[in-house]
């Protein structure tokens, strides 16, 4: 995945309270980091003020964002509406995304600059990313480390996770496999090779060398964990 996208824009002027014309310059670059399963976003937003035939540049935001491939991310810098100075100050919001590894999709970056609630600059760029696609990952007692399989319940989200690490692989190979399959579908097979379940891999590698499978039912998560731990399906 060698794609990257960059936006460089200078957008319309507004009039500030001191009657000095100001425009805003936005530069943003998204770079995928496939070896880490992440993408990096660097944004630079400047206010350009012309006064007495001179142009002064003031950097008002320079965020750097890291997010997992396939996971949208957002950034906000500025005061909240309850702040007395909110209407007189700039705030910057950034929304970005990049597709999962090997999948086709749209990478995009949107940068919005506001003065209070008024939009003074908006920049958006998107890129169609074409991937080769992938088949569901097959998980079975033969390729999973049985001792690593466990269930974790997140009661705040009503989600149960089956956590596991791959068996018979070096840490480096297991980490690469986990990253490559972020967001991928899975088929669960028992020790006899029969398909007894399905699911998908949550974004983000578990323990750096494994994966997390989310289920809405704790009973289903326990059933999958039991199968992958080597016990026969019930």
pLDDT in tens, the chain (234 residues): 445 555 444 333 332 223 334 689 899 999 999 888 999 999 999 988 877 788 788 899 999 999 999 999 999 999 999 999 999 999 999 999 999 999 999 999 999 999 999 999 999 989 999 999 999 999 999 999 999 999 999 999 999 999 999 999 999 999 999 999 999 999 999 999 999 999 999 977 788 789 999 999 999 999 999 999 865 544
CB contact at 8 A, 38 and 69: yes
- What's the pTM? 0.79
- What tokens does 43 get? 């944004």
Two structure tokens written together for 170:
């070096």
Q: Strands of 34-117 (E only): list them.
A: 38-51, 54-61, 64-68, 73-77, 90-97, 105-115
CA–CA gap between residue 217 and residue 159 (Å, rounded): 7
Using CA atoms in the order 115, 116, 122, 127, what is the torsion angle rounded to 10 degrees? 130
Chain centroid, CA 50 distance in Å: 38
Closest of 161, 144, 143 to residue 152, by C-alpha:
161
How many residues are there in the chain? 234
What is the pLDDT, as a whole number, of residue 51?
74
Phi, psi of 38 (to 5 degrees): -130, 170
Q: Return d(Cα 126, Cα 147) in angstroms, integer.
A: 43
In whole angstroms, give the CA distance from residue 188 to residue 207: 21
Residue 20: how many other CB atoms lie within 10 Å = 13
Q: Give the pLDDT confidence score for residue 114 in this predicted structure.
A: 95
pLDDT of residue 52: 78
CB 199 within 8 A of CB 211: no
Rounded to whole angstroms, the Cα distance separating 113 from 99 reads: 25
141's tokens: 């007692």
Residue 90 backbone dihedrals phi, psi, to 5 degrees: -80, 145
Specify the pLDDT at position 207.
81
How many Cβ atoms are within 10 Å of 101's Cβ, its own excluded?
Answer: 20
C-alpha 182/C-alpha 100 separation (Å) is: 6
């Amino acid at each position: 995945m060698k794609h990257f996208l960059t936006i460089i824009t200078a957008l319309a002027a507004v009039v500030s309270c001191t009657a000095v014309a100001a425009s805003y310059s936005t530069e943003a670059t998204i770079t995928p980091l496939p070896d880490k399963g992440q993408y990096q976003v660097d944004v630079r937003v400047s206010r350009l003020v012309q006064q007495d035939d001179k142009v002064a540049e003031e950097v008002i935001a320079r965020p750097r964002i890291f997010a997992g491939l396939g996971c949208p991310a957002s950034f906000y810098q500025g005061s909240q509406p309850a702040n007395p100075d909110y209407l007189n100050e700039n705030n910057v919001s950034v929304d970005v995304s990049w597709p999962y590894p090997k999948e086709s999709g749209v990478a995009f970056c949107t940068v919005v600059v506001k003065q209070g609630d008024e939009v003074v600059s908006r920049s958006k760029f998107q890129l169609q990313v074409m991937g080769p696609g992938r088949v569901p990952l097959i998980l079975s007692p033969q390729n999973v480390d049985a001792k690593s399989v466990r269930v974790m319940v997140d009661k705040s989200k009503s989600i149960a996770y089956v956590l596991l690490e791959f068996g018979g692989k070096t840490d480096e190979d297991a980490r690469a496999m986990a990253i490559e399959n972020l967001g991928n579908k899975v088929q669960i097979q028992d020790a006899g090779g029969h398909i007894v379940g399905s699911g998908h891999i949550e974004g983000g590698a578990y323990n750096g060398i494994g994966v997390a499978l989310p289920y809405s039912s704790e009973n289903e998560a326990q059933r999958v964990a039991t199968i992958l731990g080597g016990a026969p399906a019930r």
